[in-house]
Amino acid sequence: MKGKKTTLKLKPKSFAISFVIILFAITAAVSGFFLDSSIYKGQNIFKSLLSVIHIPLVNADYRAWFVLCFTSLFIGLGALVINFEYLKALSQGKNFNDNRWFAISFITFLVTIVITVQVDALSLLPYTMDSFINALIFLGSSYLVAIPVFIVLLVVLALLSAFGYFIIRSAIKGRPSFAGFNDDDDDDDSGEKGAEKSMVQTREEVFPTLCSVDEKFENKTPANIKSASITLNDLVTQFRLFLAQKEGLYFSLDKLRQFIAGMATSHLLILEGLSGTGKSSLARYFSTFIGEDSFFEPVQASWHDRTSLLGFYNDFTRRYSETEFLKRLYEFTYRPHDVNIMVLDEVNISRVEYYFADFLSIMEYPRDLWKVKVMQLPFGFLPPAHLEGGFVKIPENTWFIGTANKDDSTYTITDKVYDRAIAISFNSINRPFEVEGEISPIKMSYEGLNALFRKAIDNPAFRLTDKDIEQFNGVVDLIYRTFDLSFGNRVWNQIITFVPVFVACGGTKEQALDFLLARKYLYKIQGRFESFVKPGLLTVKEKIHQTYGDNAFVETDALLDSMIRKL
């Protein structure tokens, strides 16, 4: 859902075009001084030059000057307005190729011309043919003279800019060039000038934080973690009691089963719903419960690409601007036995598919290809130990958990994100309950947690049978015929993994399928208001009750009832 406020980000290209148009209009207005014969007394160099190039002088009265000044003024204002419209279009993900914004800018152009002509006509009152011809010649001659003057002015500005850039670059000394080589003068102890030499920056200069991580784990073998002997069912139960006793957070068993089964299914989870329901705390305290520390990063509305997460190389400081997110990822390449929970708070305050795009794509690959490009390294540069070829590995022991609110300040999460993630909805606050006895955290390694997942998936008693698949496909086929909705292999593979882990956590197959049908499938119908939608939803609800009973698919029934009420 788009926020109420839209930030207009200045684009260098649009700024440059507006600046050039306004500068030309000012140049034309100033050129009028060289063409007004009333200014000249006797012969001078400007008068002689204009006669050589056959540009006539004009005895411009106040009306001719009004026409020239107003025309230049409205050209400049029109350029600013069209530039503002261009920035507004970009802020909404559009450009002038979009018919609506092209029409708006074209109308602005026409309105500017009409207003200019009207104001110029009023400036000529009282109207005479001589005053009209005089003003027209003065206006045309001024803009004709402005062309060569403007070109010379642009060349001068370009030369001054290049000279200023050269001075600034020359003033920065004592720092080797990362992009290539840089000459440095080194003074010896006696103060004499040393020989000039070229050198490439070292990795400690470019990546000081990552190099400090290398130094911290240098010559250290990753410590083995002895996992607690526990089942997934007990893990969920104890985690629920731990949250209630230690943190005052109360969750239903089904929500925690969805959370644990979601971790087995995808390395991207989205916890969405009402503010204050404990979404962020659930993700953070799971790390505490298994003896780890989670990473917490509030997403900013200004995030638009991967540099917000991974940083960027700063040409001015000549070092990489390393983020805490990058440091955390890099550190866990040295800690393969730990569970790495990385929480992105308010993940949809900016567009997830923009700043998280690389991760969404890469996590579809085989796990040995889970690595994201940090930057292009120059030839001969020796990077930090685990930044091979400029890529940082996404450790397979890493989970990204995003929390999302649904209000006017956030964006809608797209199907591209939902299809890859397990999204859990928090739309109610659970009642407190008493906990007896002391509940302590446990120790759990990545291998231990993964072994619990693997054991559940391999258990035939927890997996979907042919009959289960046939029943579920009956409902899915009806939805496809009614709403033309289907899911691909990715979602089906998620179902095959999610169900047995959910059952191992103490749930039932029907509860797991209920959750997946609502969150992976039926949610896509929300926002559709065709005439067939309401009867179709009623038919689907009846089919579910015929197949599974009246009270088996609680979450799906609640979603269907909510959609039906809105139609």
- The verdict on residue 483 lying in a domain is yes
Distance CA 3, CA 5 (A): 5
- pLDDT for 243 equals 93
Distance CA 69, CA 25 (A): 9
Q: Are residues 28 and 148 in the same domain?
A: yes
User: To which H or E segment does residue 466 belong?
Assistant: helix 466-483
- The verdict on residue 256 lying in a domain is yes
Cα dihedral: 151, 156, 157, 161 (round 10): 140
pTM of the model: 0.66
Q: Are residues 465 and 417 in the same domain?
A: no
CA-atom Rg of the chain in angstroms: 34
Highest mean pLDDT among 41-50, 140-149, 515-524: 515-524
Q: Are residues 280 and 400 in the same domain?
A: yes
User: What b-and-e string marks burial along 43-78, b requiring 16 or more CB atoms within 10 Å of the CB?
Assistant: eeeeeeebeeeebebbebeebbbbbbebbbebbbeb
Distance CA 482, CA 520 (A): 17
Closest C-alpha among 526, 13, 538, 504 to residue 260: 504
426-485 pLDDT, tens digit per residue, is 887 778 888 888 889 999 999 999 999 999 999 999 999 999 999 999 999 999 999 888
Distance CA 330, CA 213 (A): 8
- pLDDT for 309 equals 94
Q: Is the pLDDT of residue 4 over 70?
A: no
* In the block, residue with structure tokens 């991760």: 359
CATH of the domain at 334: 3.40.50.300
Q: Are residues 313 and 415 in the same domain?
A: yes
Mean pLDDT of 62-86: 78
Range from 335-339, 388-392, 525-529 carrying the lowest mean pLDDT: 525-529
User: What b-and-e string marks burial along 137-153, b requiring 16 or more CB atoms within 10 Å of the CB?
Assistant: bbbebbbebbeeebeee
Task: Judge whether 333 and 382 are in contact, CB under 8 Å.
Answer: no
Task: Judge whether 105 and 85 are in contact, CB under 8 Å.
Answer: yes
- pLDDT for 170 equals 64
Q: Are residues 419 and 472 in the same domain?
A: no
Token pair listed for 261: 């089964």
* In the block, residue with structure tokens 């002509």: 117
Number of domains making up the chain = 3
Q: Are residues 122 and 21 in the same domain?
A: yes
- Distances in Å between the Cα of 451 and the Cα atoms of 40, 230, 447 are 94, 11, 6
Q: Are residues 270 and 419 in the same domain?
A: yes
Query: Predicted confidence band at 172 (pLDDT cuts at 50, 70, 90)?
Result: low
- The verdict on residue 200 lying in a domain is no
Task: Judge whether 525 and 449 are in contact, CB under 8 Å.
Answer: no
Q: Are residues 517 and 476 in the same domain?
A: yes
Q: Which amino acid does the sequence have at 17? A: I
Distance CA 505, CA 453 (A): 10
Mean pLDDT of 55-65: 71
- pLDDT for 543 equals 92
Note down the domain range covering 305: 234-426
Q: Which amino acid does the sequence have at 447? A: E
> Which residues have C-beta within 8 Å of that of residue 239, sequence separation ≥ 6?
256, 286, 289
Q: Provide φ and ψ at 58, rounded to 5°.
A: -125, 135
Range from 272-281, 304-313, 359-368 carrying the lowest mean pLDDT: 272-281
Q: Which residue has the higher pLDDT, 185 or 521?
A: 521
Neighbour count for residue 407 (Cβ, 10 Å): 12
Mean pLDDT of 537-543: 92
Distance CA 395, CA 355 (A): 19
Q: DSSP per residue over 373-410, as a string?
A: E--PPPTT----TT-GGGEEE--TTEEEEEEEE-STTS
- The verdict on residue 440 lying in a domain is no
- Distances in Å between the Cα of 172 and the Cα atoms of 86, 177, 184, 204, 561 are 37, 10, 10, 19, 67
188-230 pLDDT, tens digit per residue, is 444 433 333 344 578 899 999 999 999 999 888 887 888 888 9
**Domain-ending residue, one of 128, 150, 167:** 167
- The verdict on residue 296 lying in a domain is yes
Q: Are residues 238 and 359 in the same domain?
A: yes
Query: Predicted confidence band at 236 (pLDDT cuts at 50, 70, 90)?
Result: very high
Is the peptide bond between 222 and the residue preceding it cis, with omega within 30 degrees of 0?
no
Closest C-alpha among 26, 20, 34 to residue 145: 34
* In the block, residue with structure tokens 């400029």: 390
**Domain-ending residue, one of 141, 167, 193:** 167
Distance CA 393, CA 383 (A): 14
- pLDDT for 175 equals 43
Mean pLDDT of 253-266: 95
Q: Going by DSSP bridges, is the β-strand pair 319-321/312-314 parallel, antiparallel, or unpaired?
A: antiparallel
- pLDDT for 136 equals 79
Query: Predicted confidence band at 530 (pLDDT cuts at 50, 70, 90)?
Result: confident
Token pair listed for 144: 């004709």
Q: Going by DSSP bridges, is the β-strand pair 295-298/398-405 parallel, antiparallel, or unpaired?
A: unpaired
- The verdict on residue 149 lying in a domain is yes
Token pair listed for 286: 């799971």
- pLDDT for 527 equals 80
Residue 549's SS3 state is coil
- The verdict on residue 444 lying in a domain is no
Query: Predicted confidence band at 96 (pLDDT cuts at 50, 70, 90)?
Result: low
**Domain-ending residue, one of 406, 426, 446:** 426
Query: Predicted confidence band at 322 (pLDDT cuts at 50, 70, 90)?
Result: very high
- pLDDT for 174 equals 42
Q: Are residues 337 and 274 in the same domain?
A: yes
Mean pLDDT of 165-171: 70
Q: Are residues 498 and 361 in the same domain?
A: no
Q: CB-hemisphere CA count at 13 Å for 514?
A: 27
Strands (E), 303-433: 312-314, 319-321, 340-345, 371-373, 391-393, 398-405, 422-426
Q: Identify any residues that bridge with 36 across adjacent strands, giving them in sequence order.
A: 58
Q: Are residues 474 and 420 in the same domain?
A: no
10 Å CB burial of residue 353 (0-12, 13-18, 19+) is: middle
Q: Provide φ and ψ at 41, rounded to 5°.
A: -125, 105
- The verdict on residue 85 lying in a domain is yes
